[in-house]
Structure 1
Amino acid sequence: MKLFNPIKTGAVFAMLFTSGMMITDASALTVYTAGPGSLAKSLATGYEKQTGVKVNIFQATTGKVMARLEAEQANPQADVLISASWDTAEELQQRGWLLPYQSNNAAKVPAEFKTDHYVAQGISALGIVWNTKSGTPEPKEWADLTTDAFKDRVTTPDPSLSGASLDLLIGLQNSMGDRAWQLFGKLKDNGMAIAGPNAQALTPVLQGAKAAVFGAVDYVTYASIQQGEAVKVIFPASGTVVAPRPMMILKSSQHAADAQAFIDYVLSEEGQKAVADAWLMPARTDVGAQRPLISDLNILPAQAGGSADRGSVLQRFAALFSKS
């Protein structure tokens, strides 16, 4: 699967560097991250206190982060990348862009969430997000969103823009076979709306315009609940998928030792508690959180047979929802 679209470098730099999102410091460690901005700041602050090394942060969506990396190939700036997509790490490793590193603090990270070149910072899961004031019955399973009570009242992230959403489609297909596509067809017939990225699917549910999200990334909703929003995260007993958020060191880094120390810090007990405070599941199994963990969920296999297979699932889903 090709992650990067052809982009004119000059246009990308003009867009990104006029945004004022990051002030560079040549002596500092530069971290590009897709994820909660508050978490990035917390981890940078903790690392700076521990090491005295300053951290420059560029925080944006995965697409914008990847576009910036692509545009900077001739003059790389990032030392560490934290992505919201495991596919990103796999693609960059295949390109030969990553520096191998295994932190001693990764000992308690499950094997499926680490390799020689990257390791999960934390993990999110996909579920149903339901507005408790919507007047609809609380859904327990994915299929509940196909009932008359949810007619025209369900959103879902666009799987072409959300790797985690595509993982859910693949996980359900792997678990249910053709019955998964029957489910998707019923959701389509029931008026499920394909939104943009994850936040665009969640917003109308938070506002009460829609009743539920099919396949919402959970940590954003947990933060909304903490702020008083009338929504609930529901993980169907039939299963769901998780989305590990990989951290990696760019081979082009001029601060490799500092980058390794940053990975060590994020995987330390202190760093993992900061991850938990952002409502993500810590990557380490010995650090708790005030939310369901991997052991509490029925995890579906989200592996596909390569990028072509992922593309075929995406194309089939798009074709289904393009039918009148």
Structure 2
Amino acid sequence: MTASISRRRSHGPAHNAFGVLGAVVLALGLATACGGGVSGEAPANPIATEQVPSYYPSAYGDLIAAAKKEGGTLTIYSNTDQENWQPIFRDFQQKYPWVTKIAANNLDSDEVFQRVLSEQATGNSPADLLVSNAAQAWADFAARPGTLLEYASPEKDKLPEVGSLLPNVYAMSMDPLSIAYNTSLLPEKPTGLASLAAILAKDPAKYQSKITTRDVGGAFGFTVSHAFTEARPGSWTSLQSILPLARPETSSGTQLEKITSGEYVAGFFVSAAPAYPAVEKSGGLLQISFLDDGTVVLPRGIGIAAKAPHAATAKLFVDFVLSQEGQRAVAEGGLTSYRDGVATGDGLHTYQELVASVGEANVIVADYTKVPDDQVKTFVEKWNGLLGR
């Protein structure tokens, strides 16, 4: 089905040196199938090599020519897993075969910006692109002068309103947050926060310290938790019974590992992007569900660094991931595409598929508006005050 994306305002929204972070270099001819949550092999994504849509400006060939002179290299600072990137890089390199090396690290969502700011202060940053879904951190970064390159993508007018998150920051994907649970340890499937609270209330002592949520001290955790409670203020009733049993973690990957191992029985506000492949690899031990009382969707922002060493190539990449071809690759990688017309099925995940699952009224799209510091402090104190010790 086709669903329009309406922005539901939330009023707020690892770690070695880059040289040893395991840069990924993907050559042409990688197998079409990837991890990223694909069931079986997704159908091939038809790529028009060095051909762009008719609505691109006539001078776009000059941008392609400039990119060819940059040496076929692209460096991305992101919080995105390599298996999510794989089909995107594969298809981008098929479109522009002379791009032979794409290096992408995997930092914490906030660290993406901390690293670039530190390097930009010395005037020597290798970053071409920044990709993160830390809305608060993006808002802080974009507000600083001289951090982002001004770029109006020719795809901008083809996207829904939410595709433009901030000046010069676009949405690469629209990733939903889920409840993840260990099927051998939780007797019932939680369908939402209220459902989870009801399950835990049957034997709260059994589940003490067995639930996990995201640390609201980080930009990601704050954004998704704040967006949910702003849109669903009545949810504090459920949170008052769940949070005393919960412990915070700083990444969805850690949460998923610990739920699968049994250290936790369930976690909420777990990103679906790393969850899709984890579910497939678990042999049925790990499952996720989207919240029927409000599924937060967090856009994954992409922007070009102000002093990008390969600025022309970076522009081509932004245009590609926003295009029909690129959004198809985004979906294949386990991220959630949002542009109309991207096929579903075969493990391809789309915003329209989510709407069909939970209903548009139950989708909460977090925006990239900066929340004042005093409001952040009040929220974090309230949330952390409920957590179990």
Instruction: Give the TM-score taking structure 2 as reference length.
Output: 0.70
- Quickly say closer, same or farther: Cα 1:131–1:260, change in 2 above 3 A: same
Deviation at 1:99, TM superposition (A): 1.5
| Alpha-carbon separation, structure 2, partners of 1:314 and 1:236 | 22
Matched, 1:239 2:285: no
Deviation at 1:119, TM superposition (A): 0.7
| Alpha-carbon separation, structure 1, partners of 2:137 and 2:382 | 22
- Give the secondary-structure state (helix, strand or coil) at the position aligned to 1:172: helix
- Quickly say closer, same or farther: Cα 1:58–1:187, change in 2 above 3 A: same
Q: Which amino acid aligns with 1:19?
A: V
Matched, 1:43 2:43: no
Which of 87, 103, 123 aligns to 1:57? It is 103
Task: Report the equivalent of 1:110.
Answer: 160
Task: Report the equivalent of 2:333.
Answer: 278
Most deviating of 273-282 and 35-44: 35-44
- Quickly say closer, same or farther: Cα 1:120–1:132, change in 2 above 3 A: same
1:308-323 paired onto structure 2 within 5 Å: 308=373, 309-321=375-387
| Alpha-carbon separation, structure 1, partners of 2:22 and 2:105 | 8
| Alpha-carbon separation, structure 1, partners of 2:249 and 2:311 | 39
- Give the secondary-structure state (helix, strand or coil) at the position aligned to 2:159: coil
Task: Report the equivalent of 2:271.
Answer: 217
1:64-99: CA deviations, max 9, x gaps?
433321231121211111113233332222112111
1:94-243 paired onto structure 2 within 5 Å: 94-96=143-145, 97-114=147-164, 115-146=166-197, 147-149=201-203, 151-152=207-208, 153-161=210-218, 163=220, 165-177=221-233, 179-189=234-244, 191-227=245-281, 228-243=283-298
Task: Report the equivalent of 2:3.
Answer: none
- Quickly say closer, same or farther: Cα 1:270–1:127, change in 2 above 3 A: same
Specify every segment of 5 or more residues in structure 2 that has no aligned partner in the other structure, as ranges: 1-14, 26-69
- Give the secondary-structure state (helix, strand or coil) at the position aligned to 1:281: coil
1:48-76: CA deviations, max 9, x gaps?
33221334413112244333212311212
Percentage of matched positions with identical amino acids: 22
- Quickly say closer, same or farther: Cα 1:250–1:196, change in 2 above 3 A: closer
Which of 335, 358, 364 aligns to 1:300? It is 364
- Quickly say closer, same or farther: Cα 1:291–1:40, change in 2 above 3 A: closer
| Alpha-carbon separation, structure 2, partners of 1:236 and 1:17 | 36
Which of 77, 84, 87 aligns to 1:32? It is 77
Q: Which amino acid aligns with 1:109?
A: L
- Give the secondary-structure state (helix, strand or coil) at the position aligned to 1:145: helix
- Quickly say closer, same or farther: Cα 1:33–1:54, change in 2 above 3 A: farther
1:89-115: CA deviations, max 9, x gaps?
322221121112232234443212314
RMSD of the TM alignment (CA)? 2.7
| Alpha-carbon separation, structure 1, partners of 2:99 and 2:135 | 28
Deviation at 1:272, TM superposition (A): 1.5
Q: Is the 8 A contact 1:36 1:278 kept in 2?
A: no
Q: Is the 8 A contact 1:35 1:84 kept in 2?
A: no
Q: Which amino acid aligns with 1:270?
A: E
1:8-35: CA deviations, max 9, x gaps?
xxxx9xx5156253499x8322222220
Specify every segment of 5 or more residues in structure 1 that has no aligned partner in the other structure, as ranges: 1-11
| Alpha-carbon separation, structure 1, partners of 2:379 and 2:117 | 26
Deviation at 1:282, TM superposition (A): 0.7
Task: Report the equivalent of 1:70.
Answer: 117
| Alpha-carbon separation, structure 2, partners of 1:39 and 1:176 | 30
| Alpha-carbon separation, structure 1, partners of 2:136 and 2:370 | 13
| Alpha-carbon separation, structure 2, partners of 1:205 and 1:17 | 29
Deviation at 1:141, TM superposition (A): 2.3
Instruction: Tell me the matched-pair count.
Output: 306
- Give the secondary-structure state (helix, strand or coil) at the position aligned to 1:136: coil
| Alpha-carbon separation, structure 1, partners of 2:335 and 2:167 | 23
| Alpha-carbon separation, structure 2, partners of 1:295 and 1:156 | 24
Task: Report the equivalent of 2:305.
Answer: 250
